[in-house]
Amino acid sequence: MKKTNFFLAIFAGIMLTSCKSTYTETVTYKINEPVFMGRNDFQNTARVSQSAQPIENHGKICFFNGFIYMAETGKGIHIIDNTDPANPQIVGFIELLGNADMSIRDRVLYADSFTDLVWFDLSNSAVPEPLGRLANAFYEVLPPLENEYGYDYGQVYNNRQSNDSVIVGWTLVERTEDVEHYYRGGWWNGAYDDAALAGAENSGGAKTGINGSMSRFSLYDNYLYSVINNQMSIIDLRGEPCIAVSNFYIGYNVETLFNYEDKMFMGTPTGMLIYSVENPLEPKYCSAVQHVFGCDPVVVENDRAYVTVHSGNNCGQDFNELIIINVADVYRPQQIVSYTMTRPMGLGIDNGTLFVCDDGLKIFNTENPQTIMANELAHYSGMSGYDVIAFNNLLMMIAEDGIYQYDYSDLNNIVPLSVINW
Write the CB contacts of 55 (distance below 8 Å, at least 6 apart in sequence).
70, 72, 78, 90, 422
Pairwise CA distance, residues 312 & 324, whole Å: 22
User: Per-residue pLDDT for 171 more than 50?
Assistant: yes
* Beta strands 402-407 and 394-399, pairing class: antiparallel
What mean pLDDT do residues 212-241 have?
Answer: 92
Contact criterion met (CB below 8 Å) for 60 and 101? yes
Question: pLDDT value at position 197?
Answer: 44
Residue 85 banded pLDDT, cuts 50, 70, 90 = very high
**27 or 251, which is more confident?**
27
For residue 196, pLDDT over 80 is answered with: no
Which pLDDT score is estimated for 312?
64
How far apart are alpha carbons 381 and 238 in whole angstroms? 44
Residue 102: band (very low, low, confident or very high) from pLDDT cuts 50, 70, 90: very high
Average pLDDT for 200-222: 76
Q: Name residue 329's amino acid.
A: D
pLDDT at 12 over 90: no
Q: Is 303 left (phi over 0), alpha (psi -120 to 50) or beta?
A: left
- Split at pLDDT 50, 70, 90, the class of 345 is very high
pLDDT at 202 over 70: no
* The pLDDT of residue 195 is above 70: no
pTM of the model: 0.85
The pLDDT score that the predictor gives to residue 20 is 57
Rounded average pLDDT over 339-362: 95
pLDDT score of 314:
52
Q: Which of the pair, 389 or 208, is modelled with greater confidence? A: 389
- Give dist(CA 153, CA 170) in Å, integer: 12
pLDDT value at residue 313: 53
- Percentage of the chain lying above the pLDDT 70 cut: 85
Residue 18 has pLDDT above 90, yes or no: no
Average pLDDT over residues 98-102: 95
- Residue 311 burial (CB count, 10 A): 17
Mean of the per-residue pLDDT values of the chain: 86
**Would you say residue 181 has pLDDT above 80?**
no
Average of per-residue pLDDT across 213-225: 94
Q: What mean pLDDT do residues 361-366 have?
A: 97
159/138 Cα distance (integer angstroms): 15
Q: Where residue 322 falls among pLDDT bands split at 50, 70, 90?
A: very high
Would you state the pLDDT for residue 3? 45
The per-residue pLDDT for 1 is 45
Between 204 and 293, whose confidence is greater? 293
Chain centroid offset of residue 131 CA: 25
CA dist 138 → 37, 79, 135, 274, 325 (Å): 17, 24, 8, 22, 31
Cβ–Cβ under 8 Å, residues 79 and 67: yes
Note the pLDDT of residue 9: 45
pLDDT band at 310 (very low <50, low <70, confident <90, very high): confident
Amino acid at 205: G
With cut-offs at 50, 70 and 90, classify the pLDDT of residue 292.
Answer: low
The 8 Å CB, 24+ separation contacts for 18-24 are: 20/183, 21/182, 21/183, 22/180, 22/181, 22/182, 22/183, 22/191, 23/180, 23/181, 23/188, 24/178, 24/179, 24/180, 24/181
| Cα–Cα distance measured from residue 370 to residue 236, given in angstroms and rounded to the nearest whole number | 42
Distance from first CA to last CA of the chain, Å, rounded? 87
- For residues 145, 148, 149 and 155, what is the CA-based torsion angle, rounded to 10 degrees? 10
Whether the per-residue pLDDT at 165 is higher than 80: the answer is: yes
Domain ranges of the chain: 23-211
Least confident range of 52-66, 145-159, 282-296, 378-392: 282-296
What integer pLDDT is reported at residue 86 of this predicted model? Answer: 97
**Mean pLDDT value across residues 196-201:** 42
- Average pLDDT, integer, range 90-95: 97
pLDDT above 60 (res 2)? no
- The residue that leads in pLDDT, 333 or 269, is 333
Distance, CA of 310 to CA of 307 (rounded, Å)? 10
Q: How confident is the model at residue 161, as a pLDDT?
A: 65
Q: What are phi and psi of 108, to 5 degrees?
A: -125, 130
CA 214 – CA 346 distance, rounded (Å)? 6
